[in-house]
Structure 1
Amino acid sequence: MNEQQFLTQIAVRLGRAKPLQQPPATMFNGVPDSYRKRMGQLGQEECVQLFMDSWTALTGLVRVAPVSQAAEAISASIAELKERGMLERVVYAKTPELQSYGVPQVLHEQRLVGVPWSESASAADEEDAWKAALEQLGTSEPGEAGALAGEKWQARSPLLRAVERCHLGIVVPEAVVANTGTLAVLSAGAQGRSVSLMPGMLLAVFPAERIVARMGEVFERLRASHGEMASLPSSLNLITGPSRSADIENDLTIGIHGPGIVSAVILT
């Protein structure tokens, strides 16, 4: 397929007879003031509903519950995910927030193996402890991907080898975008990027007040909370529904570069 045929195929899928010969005219530079004003007028309940509409349109699962019932809501969401595929091992961000929601106890009650992501788990003085933990977790042997990697898999840190065998990752987003159904997940310390990227399923747990109307507000919050941009973690993952890839001849495939099933628990 040559360049012209490739562009023509894209144009046809966009409902055009042939590729545009000139760039389309742009009416605005940046966010239109009318849109910014309308988004700025949304209240918290409206933002929650808009996020739920956007998230479910992307095939995401969602549940709303009072923060006092966080453990029950998380347990119900995990039970729902069990119906979607194999779920035996879970990696979760070892943050005080998830601890306060009762995640470790929920996993125990659901008879799931829990792998807490530890920011120092790759330290040399903890290697032996993690190797022993791998045996206990049932993750000492590689899964399909690890088997294909061979010796490279064995050379990885014990924690990463454990995460490779997990079916679900549980994270806490820094912020959530209502109008696109996007999770903004900072990856640092007790919440490594592998937690949200390696397992086939993802569960996000967050308070309703973290939901903002539009993407620009996420970056405004990050500037306010981190001051110097140099203090930001090396990775900010923007997760909009399940992983979707259509870069090979426009054929849409789910779950190639991340979780194929996503769920969210909103705490009010």
Structure 2
Amino acid sequence: MSSSRDRIFATLRAGLKETVNDPARPKTVADRISGHPRNLVPQRAQIPHDEQVALFVAKVEALTVTVDRVDSAADVPAKIADYLAQHNLPTTLKVSPDPLLEALPWSDRPLLQVEYGRGRSEDLVSVTPAFAGIAETGTLMLHSSATTPTTLHFVPDHHLVVMRESQITGALEDAFARLREKLGSVDNWPRTVNFVTGPSRTADIEGVPVLGAHGPRRLHIVLVKDGAAQS
């Protein structure tokens, strides 16, 4: 007797008029992965890059995300220290072991206690990079890797993101195009690609908004000016 799983898949195949082990299916899937045709891209995000940066900042701030803009990466530790002081937080940070973050002059702020590694339940503040910022919706694109553990995106109450202006794209399709360019073959793709639009919130219970139900209750971005957009 077939299992419930087999019955479910059989029903789906019947609805799609597909057969088991159809020899055409692997080629169809391979062609779709290699070709990755673009969907319709909204015109509002197809603007000069400086306008994309302004749109991204406006979108994230409308989502209760706070933003600091700095002229140099050297200014980042000071802005993070200011954020901690503003919210009366301890000076301990769990930081992604990412080259951009490891190169920051943390020693300029000796009171900051920087620890690199994965997020744990006891971590209150994380600092991570982002792969891209999507101007159209004010969304961060994050992916897992040895230097960007996903736990830092979701476990601590305060998620601080350091990113360059050149990482901001117009639309979701543009961000995916950059990821394909960076990683190449699908075999090199990360286990997870996450999209974060504002801090975690839900209104599932009696329609009352609650922050931090499924992730950080606060999201803060330190945006570093670095010139023109990426190719």
TM bucket normalised to smaller: 0.7 to 0.9
Q: CA deviation at 1:266?
A: 1.2
Q: 1:94 corresponds to which residue?
A: 97
3-state SS of 1:185 partner: strand
Distance between the aligned counterparts of 1:164 and 1:198, measured in 2? 6
Aligned position for 1:182: 139
Amino acid at match of 1:252: P
Measure the CA separation in 2 of the matches of 1:196 and 1:235: 12
| 1:173 correspondence with 2:130 | yes
Q: 1:56 to 1:204 in 2, by over 3 A?
A: same
Report runs of 4+ in structure 1 exceeding 4 Å deviation.
Answer: 30-33
Match of 1:215 in 2: 172
Q: Give TM-score scaled by structure 1 length.
A: 0.64
Q: 1:241 to 1:78 in 2, by over 3 A?
A: farther
Contact 1:63–1:73 (CA<8 Å) still a contact in 2?
A: no
The alpha-carbon deviation at position 85 of structure 1 amounts to: 4.3
Amino acid at match of 2:89: M
Q: State the Cα deviation string for residues 44-103 of structure 1 (Å, max 9, x = none).
A: 211111111011111111111222xx232342233124322433321101111112222x
2:58 to 18, 43, 53: 53
**Contact 1:243/1:259 (<8 A) preserved:** yes
Distance change >3 Å, CA 206–CA 243, structure 1 → 2: same
Percent identical residues: 25
Which residue is equivalent to 2:149?
192
How many residues are paired up?
A: 188
SS in 2 for 1:164: coil
**Aligned mate of 2:158, from 188, 201, 209:** 201
- Supply the distance in 1 between the matched residues of 2:144 and 2:131 (Cα, whole angstroms): 10
**Are 2:207 and 1:250 equivalent residues in the alignment?**
yes
2:113 counterpart residue number: 113
Worse overlay, 239-248 or 198-207: 239-248
Higher helix share: 1
> Gaps spanning 5+ residues in structure 2: where?
1-37, 226-231
Match of 1:43 in 2: 48
Q: Secondary structure at the match of 1:192?
A: coil
Q: Would the aligned equivalents of 1:88 and 1:167 in 2 still touch at CA under 8 Å?
A: no
CA RMSD of aligned residues (A): 2.1
SS where residue 174 of structure 2 aligns? helix
Distance 1:32 1:193, change over 3 A: closer
Q: In 2, distance between residues paired with 1:78 and 1:197?
A: 21
Please tell me whether the aligned partners of residues 196 and 202 of structure 1 are also in contact (alpha carbons under 8 angstroms): yes
Give, in angstroms, the shift of residue 39 of structure 1.
Answer: 2.2
Q: Distance in 1 between matches of 2:203 and 2:186?
A: 33
CA contact (8 A) 2:81 2:112 kept: no
